[in-house]
Chain A
């Protein structure tokens, strides 16, 4: 579909240029489609195709026959000999096995040119194995996309937009149709032309295969006037194509022709809708105009039968497949809505069906088309006469659109009788004091109430019962149905009419309100989802939010399938909720993701599947697939619902893309932070490494060179100092490693239920040597619950805190480890009686490379507390430093507890 915008002609729009380049690129990789096109069966399309194939084969091209209709014509079969032929796929359908084209075999074989007969053929939907697409042209699209050149054949009557015209000319309706787009986008159209007389001669000679040659319908079809008309249509169609091609070559000429043409086709729920859409398509093609198909939902149309509603869906789908934009408007009057829409959208032509009302009815309320003709300003109204003869139901109902029987609400009829009873009781009470006409008012009130609250049927019942009761109980002669005065007849009639009018009006208003309300709700829901997605972080979380919203709005279970690094879709990893759709078919979803097109329920691909798969984002950057399993298929099949689903998918796709970018950004900033940490570390460690290294090198060299000269005690002292320094260095290196692991988020906690006593004890034992001059007591309450932590890491926390006691407090002082339960936490306190913290904010101590007392003789790089904080936070706790009352340092940290499983 080439659409030229009236704006932006002076400067090329970069987006459009890009789209153009991409389209060109896609075209370059795409296979070429060559169609052998004929006016009717028997002109020799297949024959010509095979002839051309033999020539190509002789020229060395890899030609393979994908499928030939098994007509068994001798000439054709002879031509096919010597060409490689793919075996047909046996498809069983209701116990009958039929030969079908094997798409997967063709894709696997990847020939240079593939011959597939009968482009308009419908695959056996519902057969086993289930075909991927309902139509052969869709198979061929996939072949072309895979880069395989395809030759095929088609007759003019199969073209969607010509379907009507052919029917009107020949009286034969083709059920297998082909979107014009496929024909228009073919790279090469070969018209196989045969004059009518020659064709008839061939037919008589038995050279033409006809399915069941005996039937009169076929005889009627192969009549000379028919054949001539078909030939004319075919020639004209090819001529149009040639003209379109030349127009594409000379765009300036094209532009002058189509300036601002816009066609609006108004369709209703009647039979003529399909005809109108096809007429609109032809008109739009002839004028190269943009066209829109509009359906107006008026109160009167709200109570259509399911069949009619489904037909409306099908008509709008047909329009979309023919390249139209579709719009559903709602308003009290179709004519007013159409006029307003036509004016705001700048339509130049409005196509409507001819009025079908009877004359007297039209006089009371003119039909929509009449109103439009009268009120149209600034555009033409084209009225299309209905096609002759009964319209066969050519659009078959889509699978999955079974109608839901309306439930009759019997309790409402009960209420209706109750209302009547109440009226009667009230009237009896009033009877002695009021006039008869006032009693009638009571009954009228009852009818009004019923009309307002109970719907049409029950209110009619109330009206009838009320009239009867009034006549029986009150109108003289009382307690008979006889009525003495004629004037009461008017009362009865008025009561009945008012009841019906009010209930009808109320029902309409209620229906429209509910429709408008539903629409408003959906918009509000879209807004709600966008807003929530905007504040959601993390792709998995976005997927969860999206599923919740989609499930709510479309009354379905849903799943967002996300691609992994290799682009392969996987199921969501989180715990499924009741709204999750767990049975999503990953193969179908993958296809959808790769092709950027919908598949499943009601779409072109696998339409009989129970679920619908919608791509998120386009095929180049696909961010996943939304799988939807609706409770009621109509929820996602109605065009406006379908558009809404696309909008949702778009929003979700954007959100996921955004989250992905954010993740990338975060990763790089994390990397930057790691880098800077490394630098600081190197600068700071060099000092702490050099000092022990100097000691070790000095002591070791002394031992090596002067070993014998030294006495035993001195030797031991030197060796011991080497060992001590080596341990310090090892501790430092471990600390640095731990910290970097925490900084980069590479630590997976090995959590288990642990007794704090064990952990503190293990740390104390590890530091036994260092703390031999201190007294550290572990004093934990006996009923302390276990904590759910990584034992090794929490031991490290204790070890670092206890090590501080060894480092910073004088020998002989006491240290203490205590703990207490606080809700779901255990608060652990490690305190000492040393000099306490240096002045300033104790929080500073938890920063990297901070030491209690600046540059000092105390070993260590000041990483211990930073590590403690990282570990405690990883466990969901917090650690802080406080001065202890009466001097000394006090560290408190919290750890999660809770009942172990």
Chain B
């Protein structure tokens, strides 16, 4: 991470947590901008154009969801949401609304930093990412719709391809169930997760070394799925 200092905007009303985040992130040589309210968040986002937003969903002066909506209206900047465990519905709403990932409070430093790195990596690569996905020894060429593994040739059905492709576009981030259904099956099938679950199960059987203990295609219970690449 030496090429350029990434700017991270931390939106959090609790000064202590903000402080911890600042120390933690600056130790990793990120530049940290702070905002303690929805209003400041808006101003800082527009003036500093940060590379990443870390957003606490429970802000006193405004709905975190509203910030996500407003930012997404003009910027694809990655957003990581901080939330308490009991806020499942808000978490789903935030992810569906355009947030890239979430970290549950209380978080551990390695976990948060891993998510931050993954999000920045996605952002740096931008839209022209390589079309070849490498999961350990498995290689998936998304453009050619081919999967190769040293052991055997893997055949993916069109649906499996589209699910995998959708997950790969958000490599390392959560893709919610609704997002997957909307993109692969179409909006009219929203709420019917059966096809998706079957598809995930068969995908795992094909790409995971041990389908019972998935390493790449992991479930975020109640939220969605994440395609996890090994840390470089």
Residues in chain B near residue A727, CB distance under 8 A: 106
Q: Which of B185-232 contact A (CB under 8 A)?
A: 192-194, 197, 201, 212-214, 218-223
B222 touches A750 (CB 8 A): yes
Given the known inter-chain contacts A758-B219, A795-B222, please indicate yes or no for A737 contacting B194, CB distance below 8 A: no
Residue of B nearest to A759 (CB): B221
Q: How far is the CA of A750 from the CA of B85 in the complex (A)?
A: 15
Instruction: Name which residue of chain A comes closest to B220, CB basis.
Output: A762
Tell me, yes or no, whether A741 is within 8 Å of chain B by CB: yes
The closest CB in chain B to the CB of A723 belongs to: B108
Q: Report how far A900 CA is from B194 CA in the complex, Å.
A: 7
Contact of B88 among A734, A750, A753, A794 (CB under 8 A): A750
B86 within 8 A of A: yes
Complex CA–CA separation, A791 to B88 (angstroms) = 10
Measured CA separation A738–B194 after assembly (Å): 29
Q: Does A761 contact B (CB under 8 A)?
A: yes
- Interface residues on chain B, size class: 20 to 34
Shortest Cβ gap from B7 to chain A (Å)? 28
Alpha-carbon gap, A759 to B88, bound state (A): 15
- Give the interface centre of B194, B214, B221 by most chain A CB atoms within 10 Å: B221
Answer yes or no: B136 CB below 8 A from chain A CBs: no
A790 contacts the other chain (CB 8 A): yes
Within 8 Å CB of A752, what residues of B? 177, 193, 222
B162 to chain A, nearest CB (A): 20
Q: Is B89 an interface residue (CB 8 A)?
A: yes
Q: Indicate if A650 sits at the interface (CB-CB under 8 A).
A: no
Name the residue of chain B whose CB is nearest to the CB of A789.
B222
Q: Is A102 an interface residue (CB 8 A)?
A: no
CA A165 to CA B189, docked complex, whole Å: 78
A758 to B203, CA, bound (A): 14
Chain A, 703-745, CB within 8 A of any chain B CB? 723, 726-727, 730, 734, 737-738, 741
A790 B86 Cβ-Cβ under 8 A:
no
The chain B residue with its CB closest to the CB of A766 is: B221
Decide: A791 and B194 in contact? CB cutoff 8 A.
no
| Contact flags A855-878 to B (C-beta < 8 A → 1, else 0) | 000000000000000000000000
Across-interface contacts of A753 in B (CB, < 8 A): 193-194, 197
Q: Does A142 contact B (CB under 8 A)?
A: no
User: Would you give the 0/1 interface string for A866-901, flagging 1 where the beta carbon is closer than 8 Å to chain B?
Assistant: 000000000000000000000000000000000011
The answer to whether B197 touches A762 (Cβ under 8 A) is no
Q: How far is the CA of A737 from the CA of B88 in the complex (A)?
A: 14
Any B CB within 8 A of the CB of A755: yes
CA distance A803 to B177 in the complex (A): 28
Name the distance in Å between A771's Cβ and chain B's nearest Cβ.
13
* Chain B residue with Cβ nearest A778: B212
Chain A nearest Cβ from B20, distance in angstroms: 12
Nearest-neighbor residue (CB-CB) of A752 within chain B: B193
Q: Decide if A757 is an interface residue (CB 8 Å cutoff).
A: yes
Q: Which residues of A contact B201 (CB under 8 A)?
A: 755
Contact at A761–B193, with CB atoms within 8 Å? no
Closest to B105 in A: A730
In whole angstroms, what is the CA distance A708 to B194 when docked?
A: 58
Q: Which residues of A contact B192 (CB under 8 A)?
A: 901
Q: Which of B177, B201, B222 has the most CB of A within 10 A?
A: B222
CA distance A721 to B220 in the complex (A): 28
Distance in Å: Cβ of A447 to nearest Cβ of chain B? 72
Interface centre among A763, A764, A765 (most CB of B within 10 A): A765
- Contact yes or no, A791 B221, CB < 8 A: yes
A762 lies within 8 A of B86 (CB): no
Q: Evaluate contact between A730 and B197: CB separation under 8 angstroms.
A: no
Instruction: Report A-chain residues with C-beta under 8 Å of the C-beta of B106.
Output: 726-727, 730
Are A762 and B85 interface neighbours, CB within 8 A? no
Report whether B89 and A750 are in contact in the complex, using a CB–CB cutoff of 8 Å: yes
Contact between A757 and B86, CB atoms less than 8 A apart: no
Partner of B222, one of A734, A738, A792, A900: A792
B88 and A755 form a contact (CB under 8 A): no
Check B86–A737 contact: CB distance below 8 A: yes
Contacting B at CB under 8 A, from A748-806, are 750, 752-755, 757-759, 761-765, 778, 780, 786, 790-792, 794-795
A778–B214 Cα gap in the complex (Å)? Answer: 12
The complex places the Cα of A757 from the Cα of B219 at a distance, in Å, of: 10
Task: Across the interface, name the chain B residue whose C-beta is closest to A779.
Answer: B212
Q: Which residue of A lies closest to B225 (CB)?
A: A758
Q: How far apart are the CA atoms of A111 and B108 in the complex, in Å?
A: 73
| A213 CB → nearest B CB, Å | 76
Number of A residues, CB within 8 Å of B: 31
Q: How far is the CA of A764 from the CA of B213 in the complex (A)?
A: 9
Are B108 and A792 in contact, CB atoms less than 8 angstroms apart?
no
**CA A765 to CA B214, docked complex, whole Å:** 10
- Most chain B beta carbons < 10 A, residue from A750, A786, A792, A901: A792
Contacts of B223 in A (CB 8 A): 791
User: Are A757 and B212 interface neighbours, CB within 8 A?
Assistant: yes
Residues of A within 8 A of B220 (CB): 762
Q: In the bound complex, what is the Cα–Cα distance between A752 and B222 (angstroms)?
A: 8
Task: Provide the residues of chain A in CB contact with B89, threshold 8 Å.
Answer: 750
Complex contacts, A726 vs chain B, CB 8 Å = 106
Report A742 CB to chain B, min CB distance, Å.
11
The answer to whether B219 touches A762 (Cβ under 8 A) is yes
A730 to B194, CA, bound (A): 35
Chain B residues with CB under 8 Å of A780's CB are 212
Contact A741 B86 (CB under 8 A): yes
Complex partner residue of B85 from A723, A734, A763, A778, CB under 8 angstroms: A734
Question: Is B212 within 8 A of A761, CB to CB?
Answer: yes
The answer for the CA separation of A809 and B192 in the assembled complex, in Å, is: 41
The CA-CA distance from A726 to B106 in the complex, in Å, is 9
- In the assembled complex, the Cα of A741 lies from the Cα of B86 at a distance in Å of 10
How far does the alpha carbon of A636 sit from the alpha carbon of B177 in the complex, in Å? 55
Question: Which of A763, A795, A901 is in CB contact (< 8 Å) with B194?
Answer: A901
Find chain A residues with CB under 8 A from B222 CB. Answer: 750, 752, 790-792, 795
Bound-complex Cα distance A830 to B222 (A): 21
Q: Which residues of chain B are within 8 angstroms of A734 by Cβ–Cβ distance?
A: 85-86
Bound: A758/B214 CA distance, A: 9
Closest A-chain residue to B86, C-beta based? A737
A755 and B218 contact, CB distance less than 8 A:
no
Q: Which residue of A lies closest to B212 (CB)?
A: A778
Assess the A755–B197 pair: CB atoms within 8 A: yes
Which residues 96-149 in B have Cβ within 8 Å of A in the complex? 106, 108
B219: chain A residues at CB < 8 Å are 758-759, 761-762
Assess the B194–A761 pair: CB atoms within 8 A: no
Residues of B within 8 A of A790 (CB): 222
**What residues on A are CB-neighbors of B194 within 8 Å?**
753, 786, 900-901
A176 to B125 alpha-carbon distance, docked (Å): 90
Contact with B along A424-443 (1 / 0, CB 8 A): 00000000000000000000
B87 to chain A minimum Cβ distance, whole angstroms, is 10
Complex-state Cα separation, A765 to B213, whole angstroms: 9
A786 to B88, CA, bound (A): 21
CB-contact partner of B221 in A730, A741, A758, A778, under 8 A? A758
Contacts of B197 in A (CB 8 A): 753-755, 786
A900, closest chain B residue (CB): B194
CB nearest to A730 among chain B residues: B106
Residues 66-108 of B, flagged 1 when their CB comes within 8 A of A and 0 if not, give 0000000000000000000110110000000000000000101
Interface CB pairs A-B, < 8 A, 21 = A723-B108, A734-B86, A738-B86, A750-B89, A753-B193, A754-B197, A755-B201, A759-B219, A761-B212, A761-B219, A762-B221, A764-B213, A765-B218, A778-B212, A780-B212, A786-B197, A791-B222, A791-B223, A792-B221, A792-B222, A795-B221
* Given A757-B212, A786-B197, A792-B88, 9 extra CB contacts under 8 A: A727-B106, A753-B194, A758-B219, A759-B221, A763-B221, A764-B213, A778-B213, A780-B212, A901-B194
Residue ranges of B at the interface with A (Cβ–Cβ < 8 Å):
85-86, 88-89, 106, 108, 177, 192-194, 197, 201, 212-214, 218-223
Q: Which 10 A-B pairs have the closest CB atoms?
A: A791-B222, A762-B221, A792-B222, A758-B219, A791-B221, A795-B221, A900-B194, A792-B88, A730-B106, A734-B85
